[in-house]
Amino acid sequence: MWTCVLALLFPLLSSRFSCNGQPIATAALTPLDRIIGGFECNENEHPFLVQLYNSAGIFCSGTLLNHEWVLTAAHCNRKDILIRLGVHNVHVHYEDEQIRVPKEKLCCLSTNNCTQFGDDIMLIRLNSSVNYSEHIAPLSLPSKPPSMGSDCRVMGWGTITTPKATYPKVPHCVDINILHNPVCQAAYPTMSVKNILCAGILEGEKDSCKGDSGGPLICNGQIQGIVSWGRFPCALVLEPGVYAKVYNFIDWIEGIIAGNSSVMCP
C-alpha cells in the first residue's frame, strides 16, 4: 500500500492526518477532497477536468494537458484507476464522454512506482489518445509563476460540507487567493514551501478539502496548483489549503511528455 504524502514529507505530523480516508490518529491534516463555500461550476467551464475512480467510487480529480496526458496528485495513485473525461453531472453521460486507463504513471522521484515521493505530483499517460470535443479540451501549463494575491479558482466533485460529508452530483467551484509564504509557514511551521503554494481566504469559509485531491488550481486560465492537503475541518481561519506548485515542475512535466525519462525533479 502506498503511504500518505504528509507522512512522507513531514514525519512529525504523521500522527495528525488521514491517508486514503482512514485515520492514522486524530485527523488534523488530511488529503484534500472537498470544496467548501463554493458554487456549482458552469457545465461548459471545465472541459479539462477529469474524474479518477475505481470500483470504490470517485476518489480524485485531474487535469487534461493534451491528447495523452493527465496531471494529478501523487497521493491519488491507486490500482485499477479509470479516468473519465467530458463529465459534469456524475449521473449524466454526454455523447462525447470518454473513458481511459493509465498506460504509465510517473511521479517526481528516483523511482516511478509512486509509492514514495517528495512532491505531490503525478503524470498519467493514457492508454489511447483523447479526442477533443465540446466537453473535452486541455488546460494550459503556466507560462510564469503565480503572483501572490492572485485570484484563482479550484474545482472538484468532493463533499461540499465539513465535517459531515455531502457529495454533489456536479463539480463545485470556489474562488480563492494565492497567499504569501509567511502565512503558509505560520499555519504549517514544519513545512518547506519550496514546491508548494498555499491558497485560500484568510477569514476562512472557502477552501478545497476532503474527492478534490489532484484537481487544478486555475489562475488566469492556467493550472498553477494541484490540490494536495490541508487542515481538517476545512476552511478554517488562517489555515489555507496546500497545493503542489506546478510552475516549479514545468521542465519535468515537459520533459516526461517529450519522452525524456531521465529528466530531473526540481
Regarding whether 115 and 145 lie in a shared domain, the answer is no
Q: pLDDT tens digit string along 28-60?
A: 555 544 455 678 999 999 999 999 999 999 999
**No. of helices (H) and no. of strands (E), the chain:** 3, 19
What global pTM score does this model have? 0.83
Among 18, 61, 208, 213, the active-site one is 213
Among 46, 61, 75, 208, the active-site one is 75
75 is catalytic: yes
Regarding whether 145 and 82 lie in a shared domain, the answer is no
Q: Which residues 6+ apart lie within 8 Å of 200 measured at CB?
A: 176, 177, 179, 206, 207, 235, 239, 240, 241
Regarding whether 102 and 152 lie in a shared domain, the answer is no
Among 33, 120, 207, 212, the active-site one is 120
Q: pLDDT tens digit string along 154-172?
A: 999 887 776 777 788 899 9
172 is catalytic: no
Task: Write out the residue range of the structural domain in which residue 187 sits.
Answer: 139-247
CATH code, domain with 191: 2.40.10.10
- Cα–Cα dist 139/98, whole Å: 17
Residue 151 domain-assigned (yes or no): yes
pLDDT score for 204 = 61
120 is catalytic: yes
Regarding whether 197 and 78 lie in a shared domain, the answer is no
Residue 120 domain-assigned (yes or no): yes
Regarding whether 167 and 134 lie in a shared domain, the answer is no
Under DSSP, is residue 251 helix (H, G, I), strand (E, B) or coil? helix
Regarding whether 241 and 146 lie in a shared domain, the answer is yes
Q: pLDDT tens digit string along 187-196?
A: 888 888 889 9
Residue 11 domain-assigned (yes or no): no
- Cα–Cα dist 138/238, whole Å: 33
Regarding whether 78 and 143 lie in a shared domain, the answer is no
